[in-house]
Chain A
Amino acid sequence: MRKVAVVGVGHSKFGIRNDVNISELAFEAVKPSLEDAGAEAKEVEFMALGTTGAGAWYEELLPAVVVAEYCGLTRAGLTRCEAACASGSAAFFSAYSAIASGHAEMTMSVGLEKMREVDNPTAMEWIGRAGYYLWEFHNFGLTFPAYYAMYARAHMAKYGTTEEDLALVAVKNHKYAAMNPVAHLQKKITVDDVLSSMVVASPLKLFDCCPITDGAASVVLASEEKVKDLRIDTPVWVAGIGYSSGTANLSKRNDYLGLEASSIAAEKAFKTSRTAPSQIDFAEVHDCFTIAEIMGYEDIGLCSKGEGTKLIREGQTEIGGKIPVNVDGGLKAKGHPIGTTGCSMIYELTKQLREEAVEKSRQVPLKNYVGLAHNIGGTGHYCYVTILRR
């Protein structure tokens, strides 16, 4: 396999973006990513679009084609990747594979989602169906927060995790989002704010949940030769990618303490990149709900099973701790435009590895120049783990 580098990244402002349509939103990320790479749209041979809600919460059924036309990418090979909340990572993997296999020299992955063109109950309806509609939604109306709430309940029963522990994740991620100009919720909160917020799906409350967000992120990838042609001075290399999946029916999972897909994907990513969890300088851990970040620590191997709460209680996942996690605000506070998140994680890893964090206050210290992005689709229905190295 050939070496592949990230050579350009772009990111739109996350939030309620009723000021733009789907194509205009994509443009906000595509343009800066090409400028960052010093490349032109016509050089992109293949573009993979990560998005989930085509025809559901936004109106276009062929968003890859629509976005390509709007951004001057027509004639490039196109595909839309759906892996629920990991669609952005699936798109990145697709764009990576096109270069690694020798098919292309320069490709692009774009994450794109517009979730606020429909009302909130309708958004809840579509995300709730993201499992096994026939068996778990049709009669039972399982919502996305309820999926994770059931994991939270089981984790609490087994390991003594408390609602305060979950709140600490939200407080940390809001703290960093307040330093991130592209974040949806740039507001610090307290443990009391979380505990006193309304119950969404017990034991998860409003501030345990990520917001429903619009946003786009774009990544330009290049082969080793193309990196030289473009005279890229700080390429960030794809060191390894791991992936796995879990059952559609939640009732078919062995337990509700962690996501098997995360453990398998992380193990594969560590193996292919020849790194160990201890060598990772910082991580983006999928925190659609607070419990997800704690399970993520454990599933990736940043700590042993049941010890995730210890990491958050001791502040080990803040800047200055053992391993900073989600210092962009995470899905929790930066926002979670479902199909965009994977590419947004790659954007953050790249910026951090280049020591270009937008706000210096949230630049992580780098020792090995290695960062990890853990991106779950659904509730461990899909998982991609991507490791980048400068």
Chain B
Amino acid sequence: MPSIKSREVKIEQEIPIAKTLKFWESLKEGRIYTTKCAKCGKLHFPPVADCSSCYSSEMNWVELSNEAEIETFSHVVIRPTSFQENKPYTVAIGRLKEKVKVLAWLTGFKMSEIKVGMKVKLTAKVTAEGRPTYEFVPP
């Protein structure tokens, strides 16, 4: 069908991380911190500057354990534009000992080994492209 091309725009937003800086910085040191509300005691993950439960903005930073259990997962074969350079990857949701849940990639397992209820370890790392991140790996 006949068409004309729209003008091209490159979009790259600068996402502020000032209020959760400790989280991003500690990932580079291989540690995972999150916030706990100083007023009501709610443990948040992902880390937040403001408590959605009691509306307090007083937060304490706490380090998370690395023990998790897989609740569900999927092996992503068809990938979005910005992940075309990656090989297919496995995304999983794990529940930490502290009860909060984390969504991250699951690496280091054969596909057939991955099961709901499996114990895994959560670790922090910096990717080859320099992005701080975290993933589930064999315990």
* Interface, chain A (partner B; CB < 8 A): 18-19, 59, 117, 119, 121-122, 124-125, 128, 134-136, 139-143, 145-146, 149-151, 153-154, 157, 198-204, 249-253, 255-256
Closest A residue by C-beta to B89: A141
Q: Which residues of B contact A204 (CB under 8 A)?
A: 74
Contact of B1 among A19, A142, A199, A250 (CB under 8 A): A19
| Contact (Cβ within 8 A) B72 A128 | no
| Contact (Cβ within 8 A) B72 A150 | yes
| Contact (Cβ within 8 A) B46 A135 | yes
Q: Which residues of A contact B15 (CB under 8 A)?
A: 134
- How far, in whole Å, are A181 and B56 apart by their CA atoms in the complex? 56
- How far, in whole Å, are A204 and B127 apart by their CA atoms in the complex? 28
Within 8 A of A (CB), among B105-139: 105, 111, 116-117, 127, 131, 133-134
| Contact (Cβ within 8 A) A124 B91 | no
Closest A residue by C-beta to B75: A202
Question: Shortest CB–CB separation between residue B113 and chain A, in angstroms?
Answer: 14
Q: Which residues of B contact A136 (CB under 8 A)?
A: 103
Report 12 cross-chain contacts, Cβ distance below 8 Å, ordered by A residue: A59-B6, A125-B82, A140-B105, A141-B76, A143-B76, A145-B78, A146-B76, A151-B72, A157-B117, A198-B77, A201-B75, A249-B46
- How far, in whole Å, are A40 and B86 apart by their CA atoms in the complex? 53
* Interface, chain B (partner A; CB < 8 A): 1, 3, 6, 15, 45-46, 71-84, 86, 89, 91, 93, 100-105, 111, 116-117, 127, 131, 133-134
Known pairs A134-B15, A154-B116; A252 contacts B78 (CB<8 A) = no
| Contact (Cβ within 8 A) B131 A124 | no
| Contact (Cβ within 8 A) A249 B103 | yes
- How far, in whole Å, are A170 and B103 apart by their CA atoms in the complex? 29
Contact of A140 among B46, B72, B91 (CB under 8 A): B91
Contact of B81 among A122, A135, A150 (CB under 8 A): A122
Q: A18-B3, A142-B91, A201-B77 provided; 18 other pairs, C-beta below 8 A?
A: A18-B1, A59-B6, A119-B81, A121-B81, A134-B46, A139-B105, A139-B127, A141-B89, A142-B103, A145-B74, A149-B74, A150-B74, A153-B116, A157-B116, A157-B117, A201-B76, A203-B74, A252-B101
| Contact (Cβ within 8 A) B91 A146 | yes
| Contact (Cβ within 8 A) B78 A153 | no
Q: Which residues of B contact A203 (CB under 8 A)?
A: 74
Known pairs A140-B104, A142-B91, A146-B91; A124 contacts B79 (CB<8 A) = yes
Closest A residue by C-beta to B104: A140
Closest B residue by C-beta to A206: B78
- How far, in whole Å, are A145 and B45 apart by their CA atoms in the complex? 24
- How far, in whole Å, are A136 and B46 apart by their CA atoms in the complex? 10
**7 smallest beta-carbon distances between A and B, as pairs:** A149-B74, A125-B80, A141-B83, A18-B1, A157-B116, A202-B75, A154-B72
| Contact (Cβ within 8 A) A143 B46 | no
Q: Which residues of B contact A255 (CB under 8 A)?
A: 71
| Contact (Cβ within 8 A) A200 B77 | yes
Closest A residue by C-beta to B13: A133
| Contact (Cβ within 8 A) B1 A201 | no
- How far, in whole Å, are A248 and B112 apart by their CA atoms in the complex? 30
Known pairs A18-B1, A249-B103; A146 contacts B74 (CB<8 A) = yes
Closest B residue by C-beta to A198: B77
Q: Which residues of B contact A128 (CB under 8 A)?
A: 80
Q: Which residues of A contact B74 (CB under 8 A)?
A: 145-146, 149-150, 153, 201-204
- How far, in whole Å, are A203 and B86 apart by their CA atoms in the complex? 20
Closest B residue by C-beta to A129: B80
- How far, in whole Å, are A199 and B80 apart by their CA atoms in the complex? 15
Contact of A256 among B72, B77, B100, B111 (CB under 8 A): B72
- How far, in whole Å, are A134 and B14 apart by their CA atoms in the complex? 11
- How far, in whole Å, are A143 and B89 apart by their CA atoms in the complex? 11
Q: Which residues of B contact A143 (CB under 8 A)?
A: 76, 78-80
Question: Shortest CB–CB separation between residue B112 and chain A, in angstroms?
Answer: 11
| Contact (Cβ within 8 A) B102 A251 | yes
